[in-house]
Structure 1
């Protein structure tokens, strides 16, 4: 229906209800116009009012649509909106249908704003050089390419130009408050879009930003130059300054972040981040933890973990990489620059700028003030297996997620790291034949540890490749491969493992990626298996495949046993590392106390993980045997 001006009778009724306007001709309404739904309202500027129909629940209270106790300037107020207890004013807002705004101080858009879009985040290097402009819809992969591909400034420039065009669409002198949004008990919102279904409850100060669809901003949050993606949360005194928060991520409990990019499914509480590139599933929960100038994904920081990006020479220009799956033990410290290999545990203090990227699944420990690496030892770590199992189940992103995440524990990138590790360890052993302790890039390795790691790495690599081949056989897929782009080097692009050559050429969107990943993975695996003397992918022989299946089952059983033994340590009553602190009244009750509290491995959910692994292996073996008529 079309808008119309108020009638004289309607104006009189509004004025009797405490409403005022310097020029009632600037107020236009859509029928049915319900005069009693407006009380103690001061209107100013161009006003559009749509029907104040309906009631709804806000907490324990039933609210009527309408405006009660507010000053409204230059606003469009949609159908079924409730506004009440505005202590200062609301100005320059397009308020969509079904929105609730109550007990707020001020909401305005005092000047032309991009609502956080185009804000430049000086990520990794606080002195600049890897800056990323943010916008509503930014993906982890876009940001990674802009930050890390500075060798190809044409590529970076094209992406920045695209973002500049997208930013222009957000430039306006009005806030958008989307359908069914809720804003309550909040002091200041200035130049901020609040998208459909979002909620702002108790925030202190939001300036130049976007609160995305279904996102939540809670008590005492202060945020400036920010973007909260769909389903993101900032709560309980979080502090954000030049920050992007990705889908399903939660920033809370006084966590402070500036010039940081935080992508999907992260949880950051109590601590601090500066110039952080937090890929998916970055977790930090402790007050004394600082994450500065680092890149992470599938990461966990213990209490007191921190890094240094400032060597007091040319400023805070240094950065470092924690590859996917890294964990920092309590009190762990790393001086940047450094690079820690995937799925490694860092313990102690490390000042020698180690690069262990070719040594995944390692313990990086401090020994007499120096960095020592125990490579491959974490291949049998039950904690890593548990993490890989839970990440997909803890995916909090909405439908059609923006970021692409490779959940598989083993994939071509990790296998490539293992390949590099085998080559590195072979080289270190050969080049230092008389040394009991081998020297690498900023670290040492005991010869015995290197030799054991070679055995484990080779087992893990072949197990992954044979498993991939056997799964294709079970699924009835061809083993032929044309050595396409998947056979080359791969990169981990903010949680997405992908052929490096695809990065410059343009990554597919998240929905298309699942359809092509498996073939690209097979290209990598097939190119390596083709060099194995006992494997013929062109003319596969059933008997040869049966032999490989037996080998794979044997290796899989070995790794499963390693995981089980590692898990059993957590339930060993006679293990002081697990059972200290039980049986305080009587040492003879320690075992009973322990079992009643901790249970046994058989009753713990982690046993389901181990059992499921065994079941999957048997199912794969049966499917392969059926395909090859081996029964």
Structure 2
């Protein structure tokens, strides 16, 4: 706490001589070292506390401004050391301003009455008519929001979650707002009931009302020109710029919203990007990206998603209003001019092309194409496993995580293959085999729900899923047996035994966090019983699940070796392991070859169309190579070939380590 003193008579006279006014000079307090020289044309009202004005600011272009107060009215305001505040058209009321803040050319900054600064605001995600409201708070993670929005079948849980959030909101409610250290606010309209964190930069913003900007020194927030935000929370590292309009929105860490993007009643979690288009009542999990002016995302749940231009959804069928919702599971994409009539559910890492109005649920057929032909949805199961785009996406997401805040709100698992997706492939493989059995092997077209599957697509789908399962289980076994020289089969069996029983059964993707459903249920039971009763405690549970992912993953893989390979892991031998590794090598190399051939299409003659203007075919090829490079030296292509080489060597190393045991047996 700083020590403040009252102004001396000489200081009051000097301030009056510098066109300063006060209702009660006795209520203006200053620290030792305060210098009146830098306070001009200032009106003081209520209790005002002032720090020192010793430093100066260097602005773009080289102009220097000394810290101080000029042309400003302050009412119940504390100003930290070395701030520069000038040209406030109306006034600043009920704020504590940190040190080294630079505030100029602002209309008004005030807190009016008791405010929770956006905490506790209800966001009607997924269902515009209500019923799935998520209560915003500073610590909101995608996983918390997932529970609040989707676990409505457990009303006691929801009531407890609301109570926990209300407790947090009331604890942080205040009649005085805060502007942190090293904050810059320039050329801005009104700021009402907003809490602003350290190192935030607000420039050219129109209006900010009832919110929190959780900026910090590790990951500052930027709010730019023309932005309007009402009832909001913006997390560390985010940028909201260029005429963006937000109403009842939570913006997670390191998001980018700009180019006149418009959103209402929506949640955006880590590393989302929104430009040009519109969002209404969406749950945008980590890495949801939409760039195009003609794109509307509405009443949907997304994550790791890229929306093509003109992507659109409908959430009502003109009966009881906009009550329908849909889910595109992690990694799903839409092409240009795609359309989905909710309700529908699209499986993980699937691609949606055309218009789909038949409410399909393809959640157990991941990595598929949904293609519209003559108003009919055709499903191509598993084909996206061989797509170069899918592999490229999986590689780019970790690199595009821009979060610098050491306190990360969302726990993000980037794995393309995980118990979550592989369990769906097991189910998808069974579905496809059952369709084949019931409808006959010679059927040209199979019907699955409201979609059609061609015979060749069905058979390929079974093959793709089996390749991916081989790859995942083989990866898990090789990792488990890594770096150990075994003396006999029993040592192998002992090493393969899981370290925990956690991981058996169903797994879920809680908007980025992949975890066993048993652990999620344990957390939810703890919340319902009152044992877990703080936001911090809930996030700590998510942290433990995320940290133990690979331990839990092996438990799941171990249990599924028996089902897929028909081998009891308790009696497994070195000979069995070698056979599994050889199958794994075939799967990995085979899948990489498919990806390699898919990448080659990008370098075909048809892809060169538009290159080599005014020249011959040789000019076209040379122009293409100058811009895009040649196929063999493409970084992605060389990475695929290196992956084939590395994985082959990895498998051979394990085989060489244990093949002696086969000879002994």
1:530 match: secondary structure: helix
Rate the CA distance shift 1:475–1:199 in 2: closer, same or farther, 3 A: farther
- Structure 1 runs (4+) greater than 6 angstroms displaced: none
| Aligned position for 1:240 | 246
| Aligned position for 2:625 | 595
Rate the CA distance shift 1:627–1:107 in 2: closer, same or farther, 3 A: farther
Q: Is residue 2:396 matched to residue 1:373?
A: no
Distance in 2, matches of 1:84 and 1:605, equals 53
Say if 1:474 and 1:620, in contact at 8 Å, map to a contact too: no
| Aligned position for 2:530 | none
1:13 deviates by 1.0
Q: Where do 1:339-350 residues align within 5 Å?
A: 339-350=345-356
Q: Is residue 2:517 matched to residue 1:500?
A: yes
Q: Is residue 2:401 matched to residue 1:395?
A: yes
1:548 match: secondary structure: helix
1:219-277, CA deviations, whole angstroms, 9 ceiling, x for partnerless residues? 10000000001111111100000000000111111000000011000010000000000
Structure 1 stretch 230-239 or stretch 168-177: which is displaced more? 168-177
Distance in 1, matches of 2:313 and 2:382, equals 24
Q: Is residue 2:513 matched to residue 1:486?
A: no
Gaps spanning 5+ residues in structure 1: where?
none
| Aligned position for 2:609 | 580
1:533 deviates by 5.0
Structure 1 stretch 597-606 or stretch 451-460: which is displaced more? 597-606
Tell me which of 225, 250, 257 is aligned to 1:219: 225
Rate the CA distance shift 1:533–1:422 in 2: closer, same or farther, 3 A: closer
Rate the CA distance shift 1:241–1:475 in 2: closer, same or farther, 3 A: farther
Tell me which of 592, 604, 607 is aligned to 2:634: 604
1:317 match: secondary structure: coil
Tell me which of 445, 448, 461 is aligned to 1:440: 448
1:548 deviates by 2.2
Say if 2:578 and 2:659, in contact at 8 Å, map to a contact too: no
Q: Is residue 2:552 matched to residue 1:520?
A: yes
Structure 1 stretch 607-616 or stretch 298-307: which is displaced more? 607-616
1:540 deviates by 4.6
Structure 1 stretch 540-549 or stretch 89-98: which is displaced more? 540-549
Distance in 1, matches of 2:361 and 2:396, equals 28
Q: Is residue 2:596 matched to residue 1:564?
A: yes
Distance in 2, matches of 1:532 and 1:419, equals 9
1:463 match: secondary structure: helix
2:596 match: secondary structure: helix
1:340-391, CA deviations, whole angstroms, 9 ceiling, x for partnerless residues? 1111110000000111111111110001111111111111111111111111
Distance in 1, matches of 2:444 and 2:250, equals 48
Distance in 2, matches of 1:375 and 1:524, equals 24
Say if 1:474 and 1:627, in contact at 8 Å, map to a contact too: no
1:538 deviates by 3.1
| Aligned position for 2:8 | 7
Q: Is residue 2:432 matched to residue 1:430?
A: no
Rate the CA distance shift 1:27–1:611 in 2: closer, same or farther, 3 A: farther
| Aligned position for 2:587 | 555
Distance in 2, matches of 1:29 and 1:415, equals 65
Tell me which of 176, 186, 199 is aligned to 2:201: 199
2:90 match: secondary structure: strand
1:629 deviates by 7.5
Q: Is residue 2:94 matched to residue 1:96?
A: no
1:269-322, CA deviations, whole angstroms, 9 ceiling, x for partnerless residues? 000000000000000000000000000000000110000001110010000000
| Aligned position for 1:265 | 271
Rate the CA distance shift 1:38–1:406 in 2: closer, same or farther, 3 A: same
Say if 1:474 and 1:623, in contact at 8 Å, map to a contact too: no
Q: Where do 1:250-261 residues align within 5 Å?
A: 250-261=256-267
Structure 1 stretch 394-403 or stretch 530-539: which is displaced more? 530-539
TM-score, length-normalised on structure 1? 0.96
Rate the CA distance shift 1:482–1:41 in 2: closer, same or farther, 3 A: closer
1:22 deviates by 1.6
Distance in 1, matches of 2:659 and 2:19, equals 86
Distance in 2, matches of 1:87 and 1:169, equals 33
1:441 deviates by 1.6
1:36 deviates by 0.8
| Aligned position for 1:275 | 281
Distance in 1, matches of 2:586 and 2:437, equals 30
Distance in 1, matches of 2:153 and 2:495, equals 38
Say if 1:145 and 1:503, in contact at 8 Å, map to a contact too: no
1:84 deviates by 1.4
Distance in 2, matches of 1:322 and 1:21, equals 60
Rate the CA distance shift 1:55–1:475 in 2: closer, same or farther, 3 A: farther
Q: Where do 1:35-46 residues align within 5 Å?
A: 35-46=36-47
1:440 deviates by 1.1
Distance in 2, matches of 1:350 and 1:615, equals 41
1:404-442, CA deviations, whole angstroms, 9 ceiling, x for partnerless residues? 111011100000111111111112222222632111122
Structure 1 stretch 417-426 or stretch 56-65: which is displaced more? 56-65
| Aligned position for 1:291 | 297
Structure 1 stretch 280-289 or stretch 1-10: which is displaced more? 1-10
1:615 deviates by 5.0
User: How many pairs align?
Assistant: 628
Rate the CA distance shift 1:49–1:444 in 2: closer, same or farther, 3 A: same
Distance in 2, matches of 1:623 and 1:16, equals 86
2:242 match: secondary structure: coil
